[in-house]
Amino acid sequence: MGLIQYFKKIEPDKKKSPFLHTAYDAFFTFLASPNSVTKDGVHMRDGMDLKRTMVHVVLAMQLCYVFGTYNIGHQHFTAMGEYLGFLEGFHLKLAHGLIKLFPIFVVTHVVGLGIEFWYAAKKGHAVEEGFLVSGALIPLIMPPDLPIWILVLSVAFAVILVKEAFGGTGMNIWNVALMARLFVFFAYPTTISGDDVWVSGFEHIRAGYAADYGWAHNLFNGLFGAMGLDKFTGGQVVDGFTGATPLALAYQGGWEAVTAVYSVSDMWWGTIPGSIGETSKPFILFGAIFLLVTRIASWRIMLGMVLGASLMAIILNAWDATPFMNVPWYYQFYMGSFFFAMAFMATDPVTAASTNGGKIAYGFLIGFIGMIVRVLNPAYPEGWMLAIIFMNTFAPLLDRLVLNPHIARRKKLAHA
Amino acid sequence: MHTNHKFFSKLLLSTALLISVNSLSAQNAAGDTNVYLIAILIVIGALILVSAILTLSQNFISIEAAKFGVEIEEKDNGFSLSNLWKEANPLYTNGTPVTELKKGHDILLKGKPSSELIKKNVKRFAVNPKSFRGLSPIPKVLVEVGDEVKAGDPIYYDKKNPVVKFVAPVSGEVIEINRGEKRAITDIVILADSEVKHAQLDPPSINEASRDDIVSFLLSSGGWTLFNQRPYDILPAHDAVPTNIFISTFNTSPLSPDSSVIIEGQGDLFQKGLDTLNRLTSGQVFLGLCANFDDAPHEVFTGADNVVKKWFKGKHPSGNVGIQIHHTAPIAAGQTVWTLSVQEVITLGELMHKGIFNARRIVVIGGANVINPVHVETYIGANVGELVKDNIQGDNNRIIDGDVLSGKQTKDSNYLGFRSDQISVIEEGDYYEIFGWLVPIKARPTISGTFPNFLYPNLEFDGDTNTHGERRAFVMSGEYEKVLPMDLYPQHLMKAIMTGDFEQMEGLGIYELSEEDVALCEFVCTSKMPLQNILRDGLDMMREQG
């Protein structure tokens, strides 16, 4: 273990430079699990710890990252009517996706982890792993063209006010990643709603504009040129391309309007505009199954959500007042980010209900309310973010509804 | 035959599920019809309905039969959802109901003690007031260094409660009185004679003497110290009358002693002990029996009289007396129950029957680094070093007085506690592991699905004391519930204790728990919370409040 000894040698002094020591400690415990032993209480501990838990959630998202990155590029070129086949122009799409995603990913982590480290140093405890998941989720739920300074503000808002103000990992009331998105949604609504924001570079390829490629694209152009591949040339958006998501279309004209633009398999595989990581259903479901098999996420919440959303969608089918309500209930799952919210957002154990009964109710109500917001709200045709944050607020209440009868039953026994 | 039938039912059900899933995806592709889906749903619904009707009618028939006193044979009525996943109870339970506990986890460790029983020549024994919770730190010691004592002679008493006498486990010479912090007495060491001489007492008749006579005999003879009172795990007050008395005849904790080795040849004394207990409680004496194995428990247990027998089946902690109490007659606020181990019942029986305090104890020594893991016959308070001498390999071990989950760390120069029947030896885990949290080098026990442990259900682990991670705030939920087979919300209870909310603590059932019951919860905790310490803080708070 020469490596360990080397790293132990360069450990900064805790008193002299607390921030450095915190950062060192965070990276060191990442490199090697510490040599701490049990004291009193149990003498043997389960192999599971919070790092392992969090990293497994991040692992579950990796396919969404791969697909999301590529889909940024795919949508960009689809808007211009170029390389319409999914695998055509592979290098260009991937390069464009990386150029868009990379800054978002790096900035999210630098800002978020920076704040975490600073707080940990200040409070004198170890850096907690919660931001590993929040930091991996935030890029996936943002639109690809989100200005970086807005991202910085939203991440800082979420980490400082939603998490650290309440005491750090495990103490927050609302889902950190969703609060970052909520911040953008209320503070800068034009960057995260409407038809224009879901396709990367859409602003710049409208009729009369030239595609706005920066130095990164030019760098790749040089590389691709040298390899004899196609280059980024820019172009104009094709006639009839609106960038509208299936949900926006469904709001205007029901299922017919959606299928006129997107096929069912497009929506299933996720080759449609949307937030970066939420479009591809199979890859999200793969992550969901991974989380269920490893028993990290609660099946109760997921099941409850599917039931709640199905029930509300069936009720809306029966109501049948607008074209959107008339969309067959099972097709509601093909549109929007239901599965992403189900797999990664609602199952956050800190903000969800913590009793088994409460979890089913919590999931069910998210599904139920989210579908109401999606279909009946004219301003914003997607509901999971708002529904989850709403139910985060009421999760302790759901737990109380489970615990209070339990307590009353025990009291009754005592008096009997 | 029976298993075959079940196997096919399961197969049928899973096929139905598979078909329904397939049809769902087929419907995705077709996009125009969900006829299949509806048909499958109807079929599944019909199956459930039919099985519900069958179960219900069966129940009605048995109710009617019971009314008329007719005995009908339980028949397997074909397809019943509730029976499908239930395993048949072993035959030796004779049809008495078995409490099946689904939750829990068995930690399989290397070095499981064989049922061989050996005698070890231990010279030094100690009585340690620290074994009893709630005594004042400096008891009144009745002997001096150099005194000769017989087994059963009073050694000390608590100044707050002078009627309860604590007695010597062996005869011999008092050689040390050790003091710890603030001059609190830690142990009073006796150098044992080669042949133990017992003080002969004159016990009252178990069946004919008045309860008061029995109690006063037990108080003066050391018999009272055998009782453990729940809640709080303390010695009962000298005038206490327990609501019920519970004895668990099996131990499910890792590397635990085998009670059939313990009971062999002690059947009469065990029964005398049970008879005595019956005189002491206002309620009943319950005996928890194990239905986990193909072989019946020892016939002394199955044939015991004067007790109510309760069968339990399940993984650890189903052998914990606290779990059994919860499923028999839960402790409500204001109630107290007593618990004893099998060996303590035997000692009590011998005390009442022969008039001698025989502190014989069978202790197991187990763990991966134990050369010959066996049962050892000795007496209460034996010196740990002498017990494990020449039986441990390696020099970086932790010796635990008790099991690896709820025992106390001890060392060679220490003495076993009053209620100990187990020594576990595991390796200290003071090593770094590169990326150990992600790709562990050594297999380790866990309940997490992120390890491939579920592929090797019978794998035995070395086990070590590494924490495998650092302490964090509560993050995960529902973990504790998976391993605690009680109708309880342990995480919420812990939070109530941490915030000092008495009403919630009581409502969430703190009285029903003891450290050993939440030990497995502490083991699985992702956030590495010290649950046993938290629970003890809570119990102490409740006890101080009265």
Identify the residue among B36, B470, B489, B492 best suited for mutation to test binding to A, counting A beta carbons within 10 A and taking the highest: B470
Six-digit token pair at A367?
């599904």
CB contact (8 A) between residue B430 and residue A296: no
Instruction: Using a CB–CB cutoff of 8 Å, tell me whether B452 touches chain A.
Output: no
Identify the residue among A9, A29, A36, A48 best suited for mutation to test binding to B, counting B beta carbons within 10 A and taking the highest: A48
Q: Which of B430, B437, B438 sits opposite A35 (nearest CB)?
A: B430
Place of tokens 């030094």: B124
Span B371-397, average pLDDT:
93
Phi, psi of B220 (to 5 degrees): -85, -20
Q: How many CB pairs under 8 A join A and B?
A: 214
A40-90: pLDDT as tens digits: 889 999 999 999 999 999 999 999 999 999 999 999 998 888 888 888 889
Q: Residues of A with CB below 8 A from B527's CB?
A: 50, 170
Which 61-100 residues of chain B touch chain A by CB within 8 A? none
Q: Which of A128, A355, A399 sits opposite B472 (nearest CB)?
A: A128
Q: Residues of A with CB below 8 A from B526's CB?
A: 46, 48-50, 53
Q: Which contacts qualify for B218-222: CB closer than 8 Å, 24 or more apart?
A: B218/B348, B218/B351, B219/B163, B219/B164, B219/B165, B220/B154, B220/B163, B220/B165, B221/B152, B221/B165, B221/B167, B221/B351, B221/B357, B222/B152, B222/B154, B222/B165, B222/B166, B222/B167, B222/B351, B222/B357
Question: Side-chain half-sphere of B308: how many Cα atoms within 13 Å?
Answer: 12
CB B229 within 8 Å of CB B337: yes
Q: Distance (Å, rounded) from C-alpha B450 to C-alpha B460?
A: 18
CB contact (8 A) between residue A295 and residue B107: no
**What is the distance in angstroms between the Cα of A122 and the nearest Cα belonging to chain B?**
17
Six-digit token pair at B437?
């949290």
CB contact (8 A) between residue A403 and residue B426: no
B55-59, B84-88, B160-164, range with greatest mean pLDDT: B160-164
pLDDT of the residue at A358: 95
Q: Distance (Å, rounded) from C-alpha B175 to C-alpha A170?
A: 54
Q: Among A136-140, A338-342, B450-454, where is mean pLDDT lowest? A: B450-454
A362-375: pLDDT as tens digits: 999 999 999 999 99
Q: Which of A36, A52, A298 sits opposite B467 (nearest CB)?
A: A36
CB contact (8 A) between residue A32 and residue B405: no
Strand partners, B287: B247, B309
Which 100-139 residues of chain B touch chain A by CB within 8 A? 107
pLDDT of the residue at A244: 87
Span B220-246, average pLDDT:
93
CB contact (8 A) between residue B468 and residue A414: no
pLDDT of the residue at B81: 55
Indicate the pTM of the whole model.
0.88
Higher-confidence position of A165 and A3: A165
Check pLDDT > 80 for residue B11: no
| Residue B211, amino acid | R
Q: Which helix (H) or strand (E) holds B29?
A: helix B2-30
Q: Distance (Å, rounded) from C-alpha A105 to C-alpha A43?
A: 40
Q: Distance (Å, rounded) from C-alpha A42 to C-alpha B534?
A: 13
CB B490 within 8 Å of CB B518: yes
Check pLDDT > 80 for residue B84: no
CB A235 within 8 Å of CB A80: yes
CB contact (8 A) between residue A40 and residue B408: yes
Percent of chain B with pLDDT over 90: 66
Higher-confidence position of B5 and B10: B10
Instruction: Using a CB–CB cutoff of 8 Å, tell me whether B334 touches chain A.
Output: yes
Return the residue of A nearest to B334 by Cα: A414
Instruction: Using a CB–CB cutoff of 8 Å, tell me whether B455 touches chain A.
Output: no
pLDDT of the residue at B87: 66
| Residue A300, amino acid | R
Q: Residues of B with CB below 8 A from A126's CB?
A: 470
Strand partners, B117: B375
Q: Distance (Å, rounded) from C-alpha A25 to C-alpha A27?
A: 5
Q: Residues of B with CB below 8 A from A307's CB?
A: none
Place of tokens 């668990």: B248
pLDDT of the residue at B383: 95
Identify the CA nearest to A153 among candidates A173, A179, A127. Answer: A179
Give me chain B's average pLDDT, please: 87
Q: Distance (Å, rounded) from C-alpha B231 to C-alpha B246?
A: 13
B122-171: pLDDT as tens digits: 999 999 998 898 888 889 999 999 999 999 999 999 998 899 999 999 99
Q: Among A32-36, A390-394, B336-340, B374-378, where is mean pLDDT lowest? A: A32-36
Return the residue of A nearest to B454 by Cα: A294
Strand pairing category for B397-401 and B408-410: antiparallel
Return the residue of A nearest to B444 by Cα: A47
- The DSSP code sequence of B272-317 is HHHHHHHHH-SS-EEEEEE-SSSSPPPHHHHT--SSEEEEEEESTT
Six-digit token pair at B242?
């327990």
Residue B31 pLDDT grade (very low, low, confident, very high; cuts 50, 70, 90):
very low
SS3 B372: coil
A84-122: pLDDT as tens digits: 888 888 999 999 999 999 999 999 999 999 999 999 998
Which 423-442 residues of chain B touch chain A by CB within 8 A? 424, 426, 428-438, 440
Higher-confidence position of B281 and A29: B281
Q: Among A220-224, A270-274, B75-79, where is mean pLDDT lowest? A: B75-79
Instruction: Using a CB–CB cutoff of 8 Å, tell me whether B380 touches chain A.
Output: no
Place of tokens 């080759």: A271
Q: Which of B445, B473, B528 sits opposite A49 (nearest CB)?
A: B528
Return the residue of A nearest to B406 by Cα: A42
Instruction: Using a CB–CB cutoff of 8 Å, tell me whether B492 touches chain A.
Output: yes
Identify the CA nearest to B314 among candidates B116, B517, B485. Answer: B485
CB contact (8 A) between residue A44 and residue B464: yes
Six-digit token pair at B485?
């087979």
Span B279-306, average pLDDT:
92
3-state secondary structure A81-117: CCCCCCCCCHHHHHHHHHHHHHHHHHHHHHHHHHHHH
Q: Residues of A with CB below 8 A from B398's CB?
A: 37, 43
Span B386-406, average pLDDT:
92
pLDDT of the residue at B29: 47
Give me chain A's average pLDDT, please: 90
Residue A12 pLDDT grade (very low, low, confident, very high; cuts 50, 70, 90):
confident
CB A55 within 8 Å of CB A33: no
Check pLDDT > 50 for residue B30: no
Q: Which of A41, A355, A359 sits opposite B489 (nearest CB)?
A: A355
Place of tokens 């907690």: A128
Question: Side-chain half-sphere of A259: how many Cα atoms within 13 Å?
Answer: 12
CB contact (8 A) between residue A399 and residue B532: no
Check pLDDT > 90 for residue B16: no
SS3 A74: helix
Span B314-332, average pLDDT:
93
Q: Where are the domains of chain B?
A: 2-88, 467-546
ipTM of the complex in this document: 0.92
Identify the residue among B437, B455, B484, B521 best suited for mutation to test binding to A, counting A beta carbons within 10 A and taking the highest: B437
Q: Residues of B with CB below 8 A from A268's CB?
A: 28
